């Protein structure tokens, strides 16, 4: 079992792995119109990945961390972003900010998504020194 982490605003915490943000706006590994839930293999990587999009002088006060447990027997596939089809389950890709670590891209529309255990989000705050 692998636990993955995702930091997000509290207002999106009801369905933290639904892929709605990627569907609306696209992302590094997805185009607009494709549901994709971005997560990280470590909390520290999730913190770094989220922080690169923050205003250092005004970090949001309402962050949460969502976690999910992905069974080891759910297949992992390495493909190019343009080759995604409706049948892919999850991808493990290199991080742009920490290339030796990995982010997980979860397909919320795949039939096996029910096997992924999503935990209730918990409040999250960056240490003030992170932005000093």
DSSP 19-55: -HHHHHH-BTTB-TT---EEEESSHHHHHHHHHTTS-
Percent of residues, the chain, with pLDDT higher than 70: 85
* Predicted pLDDT at 29: 80
- How many structural domains comprise the chain? 1
Digit-coded pLDDT (tens) for 84-93: 555 555 566 7
pLDDT classification of 54: cutoffs 50, 70, 90:
confident
pLDDT digits (tens, 9 = 90+) for 16-46: 999 999 999 998 888 899 999 999 999 999 9
Question: What does the block give as tokens for 65?
Answer: 């961390």
8 A C-beta contact, residue 101 and residue 40: yes
What CATH number corresponds to the domain at position 42? 3.20.170
pLDDT at 75: 67
Contact call for residues 110 and 65 (beta carbons, < 8 A): no
pTM: 0.82
Range of the domain at 22: 2-131
């Amino acid at each position: 079992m692998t636990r993955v982490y995702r930091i997000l605003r509290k207002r999106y915490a009801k369905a933290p792995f639904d892929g709605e943000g990627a569907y609306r706006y696209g992302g590094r590994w997805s185009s607009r119109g494709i549901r994709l839930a971005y997560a990280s293999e470590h909390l520290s990587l999730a913190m770094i990945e989220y922080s690169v999009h923050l205003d250092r002088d005004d970090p949001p006060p309402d962050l949460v961390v969502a976690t999910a447990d992905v069974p080891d027997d759910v297949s992992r596939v390495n493909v190019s972003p343009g080759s995604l089809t409706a049948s892919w389950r999850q991808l493990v890709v290199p991080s742009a900010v920490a290339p030796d670590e990995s982010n997980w891209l979860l397909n919320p529309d795949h039939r096996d998504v029910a096997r992924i255990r999503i935990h209730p989000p918990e409040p999250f705050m960056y240490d003030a020194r992170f932005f000093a």
